[in-house]
Amino acid sequence: MYLEEPTIITSQKWDKDITPLVSVSCTTYNHEQYICEAIEGFLMQKTTFPVEIIIHDDASTDKTAGIVKEYAEKFPCLIVPILQKENQYSKKQGSISVRLVWPHVRGKYIAPCEGDDYWTDPYKLQKQVDFLEANPDYSMCFHNYLISVVNKLMLKKQSYKEDVTVKDYAKNMSGIHTATVLFRSCLYSVITTSTTEKVTGSYYFFIKLCELGKIRFINEPMAIYRVHEGGVWSGKSVYEQGLMSLQNKEAMIINFYQNREVKSILKDTYVKSALRYSLISLVNRKFSQSFEFVKISLRYGVNHLHYYYWVIFFFDMLFSKIVRRA
C-alpha cells in the first residue's frame, strides 16, 4: 500500500520547519478506490526542493479519510491532512480549494490534483518549477494528459499553442485540467468574494492567472484524468455539466466587464457552449433541456452563432422524420 520511503529527493533533510517550494493541493471525496494512486503519484516526485502535500477530505462517507490519515501518519513531514466532519461542497459557497486549502499553503507554487486523478511522470514538478523559476513573467504552466475511461487511455487533443494568452483561453470552451497545473501561490488571492460564489471549478481562476502573466503549455502527458460515475465533473449529467460550465463562463464575463475585447470573446464562447449543450440534449431527445439551453444562450442577446444552430436544428428534425418514416 505504501512506499517504504518517500521517493522525493531534496537537498535538505525533511523537517516541518523547512518552507516547501511547492505545495501539492489535493481535494478528495469518496475516492476510496483512487486516492492511493493519487498520493503515490505525489510521493514518487523527484525534486531538488522540498514539497508539502495538503490533502482535504470533504467528509467522505467511505474509507477515503482513513486512508489519508494513514498516509499522513506514515509521512508526517510531507502530508498535511484536512479532514472535514461536515461536507463543505454541499454548502455551495464556491471552490473548496480556494476557500479551504489554498489559504494554508506555504509553498511558492501550488500544484493542484483531485483525489481521483494522478500524476504519471516523476519529474512533473521539477520540469514545471524549472520553467517558472527561469521565467518570472509567467504566472502558470500546464501540460498535456491522458484520459482514462473504463481502464482505456486516450491522449487529450489540445488546441493550445505553446504560449497561451487571455484571449486564447477565452476562446476555449473546456478550460485547463486541474491536475496539469503549477502556478505561483501569491496569485491565488486575486479571486474576489463577489464572484467566487458562482465559481465551482478552476476554469475562472485560470483565466485570472492569464490576466496576470503569460501561461506556458508543455506538450507532454504527465497526468491521468479519470472519467467515472463518482467524478465531480464526469459523474454529472450533460445537463448539470452544461449549467456548471455556463455558470463559470458567466463569472468570467462579469470579471472582464471593463475589457471589451475579452468580454466579447467570452460572450461568443458562452453562446457557443450553451448551443453545444442544446444540440447534445437535442440529439439525446431531451427537448425541454435543449430549449432551456437555447434560452440561456440568449442571455447576452442574439449572436451570429444562433443562425448556425437553427440550420443544424432544422436538418436534425428533417433527418429524424426520414428515419421514423423508414
DSSP code for 180? G
DSSP code for 157? P
Greatest Cα pair distance, the chain, in angstroms, is 75
Neighbours of 136 (CB within 10 A): 9
Q: Which residues of 259-279 are buried (b: 16+ CB within 10 A; e: fewer)?
A: eeebbebbbbbbbbbbbbbbb
Q: Looking at residue 225, what is its pLDDT?
A: 94
Evaluate whether 115 touches 35 at the Cβ level (below 8 Å): yes
Instruction: Give the residue ranges of DSSP H helices in 150-304.
Output: 166-171, 193-196, 203-212, 238-255, 260-283, 287-297
Q: Which CATH number fits domain 22-227: 3.30.310.50, 3.90.550.10, 1.20.140.70, 3.40.1190.20?
A: 3.90.550.10
Sketch the domain layout of the chain as residue ranges: 22-227, 238-325
Q: Looking at residue 321, what is its pLDDT?
A: 47
Neighbours of 93 (CB within 10 A): 12
Q: Looking at residue 10, what is its pLDDT?
A: 41
* SS3 assignment, position 147: strand
**Crossing angle of helices 238-255 and 203-212, rounded to 10°:** 30
Cβ neighbours of residue 189 closer than 8 Å, sequence gap 6 or more: none
306 exposure class (CB count in 10 Å sphere: 0-12, 13-18, 19+): middle
Residues recorded for the chain: 326
Rg over alpha carbons for the chain, rounded to the nearest Å, is 21
Q: Could you report the per-residue pLDDT of 141-193, keeping only the tens digit for each? A: 999 999 998 878 999 888 788 999 999 988 887 779 999 999 999 887 776 54
> One digit per residue, pLDDT tens: the chain, 326 residues?
334 444 444 433 445 678 999 999 999 999 999 999 999 999 999 999 999 999 999 999 999 999 999 999 999 999 999 999 998 887 766 678 878 888 889 999 999 999 999 999 999 999 999 999 999 999 999 999 999 988 789 998 887 889 999 999 888 877 799 999 999 998 877 765 445 555 656 777 888 888 889 999 999 999 999 987 766 656 678 888 888 888 888 888 888 888 999 999 999 999 988 988 888 888 788 889 988 998 899 888 777 777 766 666 555 555 554 444 44
